[in-house]
Chain A
């Protein structure tokens, strides 16, 4: 572990220009997330959790302030560089799984490898990861719609891991699952943290947040408790 934060937010503000006027979703937020942190972000609806996730996932850029990931200022990166950082440095796990419906479970996991290496995977890495999250070869030939929610989320985790990202960004990963399956998914995430991943988790559920080593509470776009 180094002393330089993996993710650093300095005075980050995000303002949306709506017809009803400007809306500040994040209000001068400063935050350091270190390598191999396990952070839970909590807060009521409209507190800015999603905006925070979009910033951390560099799907969006701050209106003002500075966001650095691995020491790089996101605002200074080109669109293509940001795309490549999303592909190589960050693994996304969504509440609604967001698997690609036209691809099989295996192809969904293989997809980020194809994006990175511009060719089909021959290393068998996608299969290995699917086995690790408990999806056998039979199941991996199925399309996402033929899988249960828990299975889909396992496939999504394998997809997030396939390019060996430093950061795992989980947006309500258990939100669409029953509690038993939810805990199984959380166990997988804890294991990944132990293996050295930096895990950032957005959740409503205090029990899920307990898995994290550090909890950040957002209220009205500001950090209320860290």
Chain B
């Protein structure tokens, strides 16, 4: 029973006697715990959010022409208009997939547009109107829209609609700002927000046009930027990918298409995020190191102020181990104080930071995220106890005669 232990009582009283000093030392631990916990939680929340968003398109295989693509999915360098997935390849894809999924050929480029004389920039996707409803949904709160796009109609992404305050029936001009021909299209619908997706179709800051209008405007007919395959059973995804690879990439040395899915993108994104998280947490760890020095200092002060008391304890028959225990307890109490305050603060600060930086706290109380709090608290306490080991050892090894004589 630690509470009935006289050495624990002595340590509590010593901390109370030097309350200000003890609290100042404990603040170091508070900062360290908050730094580690909130940074860890922030990183984990980012990972969880990305994971959730990407997994919504986990059933999608993306087949693109195997040219070097710079930039995010959906962005295609202008030079690549010559390449792309060909009609022959599309036929092969359709035959491989058969009834196991849906094949959606996609044209896309990056372009400029003008809405009520304000210029914008974003992705332009050309899709067969029949394919649109297969993976995109409309947000009908902007007016009663339709995915059955006519030649001069367009669907706009959620961010554009919100930023430009658009409605179904508004007009949008597409084309380079300097170009003379800037055809005007009617907005037939507003798409729901998709967030980060792994299928290469980030419509939030983009527009979707009829594929016929797209090829009329940009050329490159039957040279698709990418072909998406939405598989029916996600467990078959690896088999279908293998079959596609065998069929399409006949020359293993010069593969003609690249086949990816959400899993590979998820791996890249989460590993980047976790590297960054670890790095930031290491910086938080440095603050704990500084805290350890100040705890060590306070413990050494406590020992040297109580030399005579240590002398009394030793001379009337206190075992060395008991004296050590008393000082370890003191360091432990400082650690508990710091970690306790730090734990509460990290929940509050972490919640605020996650809310501010990610925009959602939906993942905050997930075990992977909230467990950073007890973990950081534990680290804080352990750091304190370790800092107390040498001062405790020094106290227990004093010569009782010398210690008694000191004033």
Listed in ascending order, the chain A residues whose CB lies under 8 Å from chain B are: 54, 57, 59-60, 79-80, 83-88, 92, 94, 98-103, 107, 110-112, 114-115, 119-120, 159
Q: Find A102's partner among B10, B316, B319 (CB 8 Å cutoff).
A: B10
By the criterion CB–CB under 8 Å, are A98 and B322 in contact?
A: no
CB distance from B44 to the nearest CB of A (A): 44
Complex alpha-carbon distance, A111 and B400, angstroms: 17
By the criterion CB–CB under 8 Å, are A59 and B312 in contact?
A: no
Complex alpha-carbon distance, A58 and B337, angstroms: 40
Given contacts A54-B401, A102-B14, A102-B17, contact A114 B317 (CB under 8 A): no
Listed in ascending order, the chain B residues whose CB lies under 8 Å from chain A are: 4, 6, 9-10, 13-14, 17, 308-309, 311-320, 322, 400-401, 404
By the criterion CB–CB under 8 Å, are A100 and B315 in contact?
A: no
Complex alpha-carbon distance, A111 and B309, angstroms: 13
A86-B315, A86-B317 provided; 7 other pairs, C-beta below 8 A? A59-B401, A83-B317, A85-B317, A87-B317, A102-B14, A111-B6, A115-B316
By the criterion CB–CB under 8 Å, are A57 and B319 in contact?
A: no
By the criterion CB–CB under 8 Å, are A101 and B317 in contact?
A: no
Q: Find B312's partner among A100, A114, A119 (CB 8 Å cutoff).
A: A100
By the criterion CB–CB under 8 Å, are A98 and B317 in contact?
A: no
Complex alpha-carbon distance, A211 and B114, angstroms: 112
By the criterion CB–CB under 8 Å, are B309 and A101 in contact?
A: yes
By the criterion CB–CB under 8 Å, are B312 and A60 in contact?
A: no
Chain B contacts of A110 at CB under 8 A? 6
Report the nearest B residue to A101, measured CB to CB: B309
Report the nearest A residue to B319, measured CB to CB: A83
Chain B contacts of A111 at CB under 8 A? 6, 316
Chain A contacts of B309 at CB under 8 A? 100-102
Given contacts A83-B317, A86-B316, A86-B317, contact A98 B404 (CB under 8 A): yes
Chain B contacts of A60 at CB under 8 A? 401
Given contacts A59-B400, A60-B401, A115-B322, contact A103 B317 (CB under 8 A): no
Complex alpha-carbon distance, A195 and B4, angstroms: 34
Chain A contacts of B318 at CB under 8 A? 83, 87, 115
Chain A contacts of B404 at CB under 8 A? 94, 98
Chain B contacts of A57 at CB under 8 A? 315
List 13 A-B pairs, Cβ < 8 Å: A59-B400, A83-B314, A83-B317, A83-B319, A86-B315, A88-B317, A98-B308, A98-B311, A102-B14, A103-B6, A107-B6, A111-B316, A120-B6
Ranked nearest first, the 9 interchain pairs of A and B with the lowest CB-CB distance are A87-B317, A86-B317, A102-B13, A98-B312, A114-B6, A59-B400, A59-B401, A83-B319, A102-B10
Q: Find A103's partner among B10, B319, B322 (CB 8 Å cutoff).
A: B10
Report the nearest A residue to B7, measured CB to CB: A114
Report the nearest B residue to A114, measured CB to CB: B6
CB distance from B303 to the nearest CB of A (A): 14
Complex alpha-carbon distance, A54 and B400, angstroms: 10
Q: Find A112's partner among B4, B308, B316, B400 (CB 8 Å cutoff).
A: B316
Chain A contacts of B17 at CB under 8 A? 102
Chain B contacts of A54 at CB under 8 A? 401
Chain A contacts of B314 at CB under 8 A? 83
By the criterion CB–CB under 8 Å, are B317 and A100 in contact?
A: no
CB distance from A200 to the nearest CB of B (A): 15
Complex alpha-carbon distance, A60 and B405, angstroms: 14
Report the nearest B residue to A82, measured CB to CB: B317
Chain A contacts of B308 at CB under 8 A? 98
CB distance from A109 to the nearest CB of B (A): 11
Complex alpha-carbon distance, A120 and B19, angstroms: 27
Chain A contacts of B316 at CB under 8 A? 86-87, 92, 111-112, 115, 159
Chain A contacts of B313 at CB under 8 A? 100
Report the nearest A residue to B312, measured CB to CB: A98
Chain B contacts of A100 at CB under 8 A? 10, 309, 312-313
CB distance from B378 to the nearest CB of A (A): 29
CB distance from B203 to the nearest CB of A (A): 70
Complex alpha-carbon distance, A107 and B315, angstroms: 17
Chain B contacts of A83 at CB under 8 A? 314, 317-320
By the criterion CB–CB under 8 Å, are A112 and B317 in contact?
A: yes
Complex alpha-carbon distance, A120 and B13, angstroms: 17
CB distance from B333 to the nearest CB of A (A): 14
Report the nearest B residue to A120, measured CB to CB: B4
Complex alpha-carbon distance, A88 and B401, angstroms: 19
CB distance from B282 to the nearest CB of A (A): 40
Complex alpha-carbon distance, A94 and B9, angstroms: 25
Complex alpha-carbon distance, A85 and B314, angstroms: 12
